[in-house]
Structure 1
Amino acid sequence: MKLKGSYEVHHRRPLEYAHLFPEKDINAAANLKGLGDEVHQHINSIWAEFRSRRPNATPAEVDEVVAIIDERFGRWYDVPYSASDSMVVLGEAVKAARRRLGDYFPSR
């Protein structure tokens, strides 16, 4: 699918965790999604928060964050992004993802 506008490639499992999944191709199509840059920035902020909470993450912890992000942000994978239609919903998705992250990975 060809998307118009400003889009970025999102690795569902980030490249920095590739060593935790040697049996997976981190650049395989199943791990890559097209995202509007605004959505991608918010997802990246969730990963940054996770990294600060779990600097030595396990594969299971990484997969839990992938599931949280897929659940909250999957509606924007590989579809045209409209800020005017998504602003409120995106804000709610960010808050919900942060709550779940805090539930699973409390600050130390």
Structure 2
Amino acid sequence: MTKTVATVNDVTFAREVLDAELPVLVEFTAAWCPPCKMIEPVLDELAHEEAGRMAIVKIDVDANPQTTADYAVLSMPTLMLFRDGIPVRTVVGARSKRRLLDDLAGAL
């Protein structure tokens, strides 16, 4: 089964991210954000390749202002890795799969 990038919102964020058993990479995104569109294929690949090691979800910042404010997200895309309900690594901006994995390596 192919894993995909799931969508979360202000209501489901705690259950899907904070209470998750695996680390969860959250993409804070917006429909109007060109770099967000650029990183989508990278996240789709990682969701498939890293299934069982980490989950990947996205949240629309415009539709979910509470979660966006809770984590002080100001730039898109912001990628935040959560482990045991705690943000352990934050990466801002689009990047290649290799660079993203390098940026997350110490936190996974």
Class of the TM-score when normalised by the shorter of the 2 chains: 0.3 to 0.5
Larger radius of gyration between Structure 1 and Structure 2: 1
More strand by share: 2
Q: Which TM-score applies when normalising by structure 2?
A: 0.35
